[in-house]
Structure 1
C-alpha cells in the first residue's frame, strides 16, 4: 500500500480548495540522495498569472486541434451531455524551469557530472520544474467556474485531471466538438483550436483528450498454427469464415510451414544466455508493460512453465495504477470480462522471455469514453510515473503518427517520458509496424507518407524498431538453426544475420533472392500477378524523423546519423517479424494454451510490440548486473548511453569510419563479431507500399509505379514510400538500411552480454 501526505507547498493553495494533490512519503535516506540531484538548482520564480481571469477575453492555443481533420467534413455533432471524462489540462513551465530540467537530465546521464544517476521523485520534479502553486490554483479555479470537475493535480504540477460534458467543454474552451470519419472509423474531435482566457495563456499548453485518437497496439494480428512434430514447423490455419488465398505470388516457398521462435532462441540469438550464465536474469528489477487491455493471468504462468522459466523466480502482477489521490484508471475487464488481449499477452510474456527473474507489472487502464478520454495506455504510464512505487523499466508497445497527434497530446507524452527519465525509469517504445508511417498497422499507407511515432519521438525514451532474420531469404537456415528442437523447444545455434522487417515487395533482400534486379522491378511484377491487390501491404518495422521534437545532442554524433534537426527513430531494433510469414514467436493464450509437445493449436505473433518488451528485458538484465556491482539499478533513458557506446564501435558522424564498423556488420553473423556490442544492419529497407485514390485521397512521399483499376479497394495508384515522389532509388527510398545508424534499424540489434560489459565500463564499473 502507498503512504501519502499532502505536500506542504500546496496545502494552502489547493488542499483548502478540495483538490487532490498527493505525493509519496520518502525515507530520510531517500530524501537525502534525491535532494542531492537538485542541490544548487534554483528555479524559484514569481507566479506568471498576474491578471484577473476573464472568460470574455480569450486567446487561441495554436495547433490545439488535429490539422489532419481540416479537409474532412463532420458527419455529426456531439450531444451536449456526452461525457468527457478524465481529460488532462496540460500546463506550460517557464523557460527558466525548462532550461533547468534539460540541464539536469543531461547531467544525470553524464558519468563526469556530480549529478550522474541522481534521480528525483515525482514531488521533487513538480516542485523544481512544474508550474507554481499559485498559477495552478488560478487555473483550477477557472475550470471550476465553467462547471468542470477538477479530479486532481498530478505531483509533477504539470497535469490537471478534469471531467465534464461536451457542452461544458465547448463553452469553456470556445471550440466545437464534432464526429469525423477517417479510414472507416468514426472519431470525436474538436474541429477548431481551443481558446483560453488571455490571463492563463502563458501557463496552458492545451487539453489532452479533446479527441479520441489514441495510441494503437503495434503487433501483427495473431495467427493460429498446428505443430508438425516431424518438421518442427507450424502450419498456419486460415481465418474462420474466409476462403484460403492462393499461395502468395513470388513468395519464398515455405513448404515445411512457419517457424515458431521461443525464449531459448532469443536468448541464444542476442547473447542473453551468456548473461544468464553469470546469474543475471532480471531478479530484483521491475518491468511495467502499460496497456489498454488485460490478459488472463494464468497465460503468463503457462508460458513460464512451458518454456522452463520458472526456476528463475520471476513474478507477475496485473493491476490498475491510480493517480495519487484520485481514481482515473478503470479495469478493462469491467467492459470486457475475461479479456485476453493479444497485445498485453505479447508484452508480458516476452519481457519475461528475456528477463525471467524480473517482476512483471501489467498496468492496464480501459480507454473507453466512460473511463478515460485520452486513453488507457497514457493513463497507466503517467500514473505509474507519478506514483509512490515506480518500476525500473517501462515498455510501451503502442503508437500513432505525429500527424494524428494534437499539440497538447504530444506535450503530454513528452512531459511523461521526460519525468520518467529524470526519475531514473528506462522507457522503451515500439517504433511501429507500417514502414515509414506507424499509423497504418494492418492497413495501407495513404494520405500521409512519412511520419514518426509520436509516442516515441521524445528525446527521453528509447525507440525499438523491428528486424527479420535473414537466413530464410539467404538460404542459410541450416547454418544458424538446428533441425531438431531441444528440451526448451529452441533451435537457434547462435546470432542470426538480420535485415529490416519488411513484408512488402519493397523488401530488397526478398527481391534479390527471387532474382529481381531491384525491389521496384519486384513490385511491378506483383502488379501483373496480383490484379486485385490482395497482397498489397505496408507491414514492416517503422522509422522516420519527428516533425515536433528536435534532435538531441547524443544522436548527432554517431556514424550514419541523419543530417537533419529532428529526433529520428528508431534507436535500436530487435526481431519483429518476417517476410512471407516465415517466422513468428509463440505466445500462450487462454484459447490456445501451451502444452508439452504442442498437441493443440498454438498462437503465433510478432511486431515491434515484440521488439520493445524484449529490449526492456535486456535493460532489466543490465540493471540487475549493475546493482550486483554496487550501483543503483535505475539507468534512466537508455538511448544516450547506447549512442555513446555505438560511437566507440561505429565511429563519429564525421571522419573515417573505424574498422569495427565493417567488422560488426550483421551480415558477418558470428564471423569476427564476438566482441561487438551492436549488430550493424546494412541490407534491406522499410520502404513499403503506399496507395492513393484521387481525387479523394492524395498521398505524398510515395513513388507511384503503377495502378490497379479493379483492386479490392477500388481503383488505386500503387507506389513505394519515398522522400522524393518523382524518383525511387537507394537515396530516396523511405528508408534504406545503411552502415551505422539508419531509419530502417537505428543502431541495429545488440549482443546483451557485450552491451552489459560496455555499459559497466561506461558508468565506471570495472
Structure 2
C-alpha cells in the first residue's frame, strides 16, 4: 500500500515542479493592496516514506530525564491532533510588514483588518502543499477532520500505533509529580518532501498548564470590623508549601468592582456612556462555570444598569471538525474558579460589554494548551464576522522550556492571525516570579523563563501588582473605613508595587524588619526550619528564548537591552503580600448575598489582571468607535509602548519630567494626568530550591542557605532567590527588580483608563 502511494506521488510531484506561481487571490480589502504573496508549491518531490527527516524540538525536552512507566497501546485513540504547517519565509515577512502598517496611523492600511479567509489565502500554505500533506496523512490511515481557514493547521485523528508508524515516535507513559501522563518519546520525523511545510504535530502529549490564580479562600464578612475572616483555608495553608510567611491578623480585605474601577479610573468613563457597550470580550477556558454566577455578581455589585450580557458556549469551525466539545462544569460542584474569575472581572471593568465564555474540553486535545488553545483558535478562525470577538483574554500559562515547538509555533501563529484580524489579545504573564511554570509552589528547575502563551509579539502580556498602602501604613488615606452601597471602599488611585508573596519582597523586608530582602530570607530560615513557607508566588516576567524583540518594545526608557520578546507589557492588581487583599467572587457554592450575609470566595493572581485589562480595552474600543474609528484595535501593545514613550521618554537621552511625576509611589500626588503609573518599588525575585534527593540542578538561583530536611521529607535542600548571578545578589542581579521606566517586574506599569483613552485618541488623530 505504501509503495503504491509513493509511485502515484511521482507524477504529481513532477507536475507541481513545473507549475507557475500560484495566482494571487483577488480582494477589495485595502489592507492587501500591493501585497504580493503569490508563490509556487514547495512540495516538489515525491512523498517517500523511506526518505524522512527529523523535526527538531517536536517532543518535550524534559521527558528525556523522566523515567518511562510504560508504553501506550497502539490501539489508543488520538483524536484531533493538529499538523502545524509552516508558511514560507516570504509570506511570514509580508505578514509582519502588514501588521506593522495596520498599527501605524500614518499608513493607508491603518486599522484595515483581514478575515480568516484572507489571512489563509495570503499568509497560509498554498493549496497544493496542503493537498500533498493531506494525501500523505490519509495514506497513513489517519482521518483528516478539516483544514483551518488560516491554511496553517490540519485537524486529524488516528491511533497511537498510526502515530508511531507515520511519525516514527513512540507514545509512552511517564509519572511526573505522582500523575501519569503520555507523551512522545522523541522528535518526530516526516517524509523529507514535506519537511519545508511541516513544523510538527500538536497534541502528542497530555501535559496541561494550570490557570494562573492563587488558591481561593472562603471568608465570612465581619460587619463589626468591616473586613473578612478566613473560614476555610485552601491547599496553600500553613503547613504546606507556598503559604505566605506573614499573615496580617484581624481579618483580610476583599476588593469589589467599585474598588478596581476607582483605582484604575474606569468609573469616570461610565459617566460619559463608555461602558464597553457594543464590544465583545471572549474569555477562553477549558471548563465551564455555573451560569447563575455571572448574573449574581452583576446584581450584587450594582452593575445591572449597564446592560452587559453573558453567553457560555463551545466555539466551532465551519464546517465543524468536532474538536470542541462541552468540558462540563456548569454546576456548583464542577465549575472552574478560573472561568468564574475571568468572566466576572472582565465585566467589572466593562460592565456594558458582551462577555463570551468560550470553553472546549482538554480531552479534545490539539495543543499543549488543550481546550484553552482550541477555544481561542476556533474563535479567531470563525468565518462569520459575528462569531469573532473584539477582545480575547487568556489566563493560562507555562514556560517556553516546557512547550514543544509545534505547540509554540501554533500559539504564535494564532495570536498573529488574531492581531491581523483586529482582535486585541491579553494573556496573563504568570504567578511564579521569573518562571511562570511553578504557580502555587517553588521554582526548582530553570529559574528564568517566560510564559509561552504570552511571548508572541502579537499579544499583550499582563503582570501583577499589589497595593502598597498596607506596608506603607497609608490605608486610611486611600480607603474608607466603611463600605458604600456597592461594597466598595477605595477613594482614588493607590500606590502600587510588584505583587510578590515571598521573602524576596523588598518593601515587606524594609517596612516589617528594616532589613534587605536577602537578610529577610536568611532570617526566615530560623523561624521556618522545614521550609513550609518557601514560595515563588509573584507576578511573572522574563525574556523569551524563542521570540525576537519587536521594534515597538525597544522604544521606551528601561527597555531591556536584549534580542528577546520580554514580559510583561503592563500590570494590574493581582494579589497582596501576606494574603491581605483579594477580590471577591460570586460562585455556585458561595453565591453573593446582600450585605455578605453568607460566605464568599476570595481569589487573586494574574488571572485577575488579564481580564481586567481586557475590560479596559473594551472601553477604549467603544470610545474610539464613538469617535468614528473602527472599534477593533488589534494588539494593544504597540500603541501602549508609543504612549509610554511620551510619558517615560525613549531608551536614551534625558528623562522627561513626567517620568518622575508618574511614579506609582506618588499615589494621587501630581499623577492626575498620567496615562501610566510607573511601578518602581519591589520586584518579582522569589524563592527557588535545589533538592539533593531529586538530583536537581536549579540555575538562575542565588542560594543563601540550606534547609536540612525540606518539608520534613526531601532531606537537605538548598534555598535561594532567583537571580541572573549565582555569586551575588543585589538590585542589579535579582530576577527581577522594579525600576524606572519599563521593567521585567511590571512592564510599563498600570494605567489610568480615562487618560489612556484620551492619549490613544490623540495618537490616532481621533476627533
How would you bin the TM-score normalised by the shorter chain? over 0.9
- The residue aligned with 1:339 is 334
Residue in structure 2 matched with residue 264 of structure 1 by the alignment: 258
Contact 1:87/1:373 (<8 A) preserved: no
> 1:513-552, aligned counterparts within 5 Å?
513-552=511-550
- In the TM superposition, 1:628-639 aligns within 5 A as 628-639=626-637
Distance between the aligned counterparts of 2:536 and 2:70, measured in 1?
A: 31
Unaligned runs of 5+ in 2: 1-11, 13-25
Which residue among 681, 684, 698 is the counterpart of 2:682? 684
Instruction: Assess, with a 3 A threshold, how the Cα gap between structure 1 residues 404 and 565 changes in structure 2: closer, same or farther.
Output: same
Separation in structure 2 between the aligned mates of residue 684 and residue 611 of structure 1, nearest angstrom: 18
Once residues 223 and 251 of structure 1 are traced to their aligned partners in structure 2, the CA distance between those partners, rounded to angstroms, is 16
Q: Which stretch of structure 1 is more off in the superposition, 693-702 or 197-206? A: 693-702
C-alpha distance in 1, partners of 2:520/2:180? Answer: 36
Q: Within the alignment, does 1:206 sit opposite 2:206 as a pair? A: no
* Secondary structure of residue in 1 paired with 2:689: strand
Of 252, 277, 280 in structure 2, the residue corresponding to residue 283 of structure 1 is 277
User: Partner of 2:481 in structure 1?
Assistant: 483
Cα shift at 1:334: 7.7
* C-alpha distance after superposition, 1:677-720 (max 9, x if no partner): 00000011100110011262111101111111122142211111
- State the SS of the aligned residue for 1:75: strand
In the other structure, the counterpart of 1:23 is: none
Q: Report the alpha carbon displacement of residue 184 of structure 1 after superposing the two structures with TM.
A: 3.4
TM alignment of 1:20-35, pairs within 5 A: 32=28, 35=29
Higher mean C-alpha displacement, 370-379 vs 644-653: 370-379
Tell me what 1:732 maps to. 733
Q: Deviation of residue 213 (structure 1)?
A: 2.4
Give the Cα separation in 2 of the matches to 1:679 and 1:447.
33
In 1, the alpha carbon distance for the partners of 2:546 and 2:243 equals 40
Greater alpha carbon shift after TM alignment, 65-74 vs 543-552:
65-74
Higher mean alpha-carbon deviation, 84-93 vs 181-190, is at: 181-190
Secondary structure at the aligned position of 2:100 is classed as: helix
The answer to whether the 8 Å contact 1:721/1:734 transfers is yes
Q: 2:374 aligns with which of 373, 379, 382?
A: 379
Equivalent position SS for 1:441: coil
What is the CA-CA distance between 1:254 and the residue it aligns to? 2.5
Structure 1 position 245, deviation (Å):
5.8
Q: Is the 8 A contact 2:213 2:608 kept in 1?
A: yes
Once the two structures are superposed, residues 561-603 of structure 1 have per-residue CA deviations (whole angstroms, 9 ceiling, x without a partner) of 0000000000000000000000000000010000010011110
* Residue 372 of structure 1, CA deviation: 7.7
Alignment check: 8 A CA contact 1:215 1:455 kept:
no
CA distance in 2, matches of 1:649, 1:357: 30
- The residue number in structure 2 matching 1:390 is 388
Give structure 1 regions of 4+ aligned residues with deviation exceeding 4 angstroms: 240-246, 248-253, 334-338, 369-374
TM-score of the aligned structures, taking structure 2 as reference length: 0.94
Length-normalised TM-score, structure 1: 0.94
Q: Residue 130 in 1 paired to residue 124 in 2?
A: yes
Paired position in structure 1 for 2:6: none
Name stretches of at least 5 consecutive residues in structure 1 with no aligned partner: 1-12, 14-27
Offset at residue 656 of structure 1 (A): 1.1
What secondary structure, in the 3-state scheme, does the structure 2 residue paired with 1:597 have? helix
- Counterpart Cα distance in 1 of 2:118 and 2:44: 25
Structure 2 residue 701 is matched with structure 1 residue 697: no
Aligned-pair Cα RMSD in Å: 1.9
SS of 1:439's partner is coil
- How far is 1:324 from its partner? 2.2
Within-5 A mapping of 1:142-181 = 142-181=136-175
- Helix, strand or coil: the match of 1:117? coil
**Secondary structure of the structure 1 residue equivalent to 2:68:** coil
Per-residue deviation at 1:333?
1.1
1:102-141 alignment runs, 5 A limit? 102-141=96-135
**Structure-2 change in CA distance of 1:584 and 1:61 (3 Å):** same
Q: Residue 752 of structure 1 aligns with which residue?
A: 753
* Matched residue, 1:18: none
Greater CA drift, 180-189 or 248-257:
248-257
1:167 is paired with a residue of what secondary structure?
A: helix
**Distance in 1, Cα, partners of 2:728 & 2:639:** 37
Distance 2:330 2:553 in 1: 43
Partner deviation per Cα, 1:98-142 (whole Å, 9 max, x = no partner): 111010000000000000000000000000000000000000000
Contact 1:403 1:451 in 2 (8 A): yes
**How far did residue 215 of structure 1 move?**
3.1
